[in-house]
Amino acid sequence: MAGRGGSSPLELLAQIPLFRGCSKDELKHVDRAVTQADYTAGQVLCSEGAVGRELIMIIDGEAEVQRGGTVVTTVGPGDFIGEMSLLDGGPRSATVTATTDVKALVLPTREFWQVLDEVPALAHRLLRTLAERLRAMDERAF
Ligand code: CMP
């Protein structure tokens, strides 16, 4: 993992529920693929309608998810964002803005697919979250 300061890579990854239960070898695969990114409060992590190029996993801090200008939820430590565009190649479904300083791990598209191939358990967790988000969107639509 590049650009990291302080905590060990595996410690940071172990804080993310997406990776819970992964073996050390699996975590090493992921570690090779992620970089650390820091966002300041007010900074946009992804913009509705834009092309998605990475999955962002929040280690520290909070961010607001807005669709069509309405806040639909907040995300925080352990949550990930950006999976939808990576999965279907479509535009970002929401704008996510840091409401505090945010420390995150970033997985670019190509590495995202590699990691999903190497660590199938991740695909299961990701699909579960995707289904939960789909239900939440559906409920708001009616
Ligand atoms: P993506 O569409 O790539 O970019 C915006 C991201 O916001 C999206 O992926 C999800 O990760 C996230 N997102 C969209 N809607 C919700 C929601 N209802 N709850 C949590 N996160 C969401």
Distance of CA 141 to the CA centre of its chain: 24
pLDDT score of 139: 80
How many Å lie between the centroid of ligand 1 and the Cα of residue 123? 16
**Domains of the chain with bracketed CATH:** 9-137 (2.60.120.10)
Report pLDDT for 15.
81
Provide the pLDDT for residue 93.
95
Does ligand 1 have an atom closer than 6 angstroms to the CB of 92?
A: yes
pLDDT along the chain (142 residues), means of 10: 63 86 88 94 98 96 96 96 96 98 96 92 92 87 68
For residue 81 and ligand 1, the question of a CB distance below 6 A is answered with yes
Model-wide pTM > 0.75:
yes
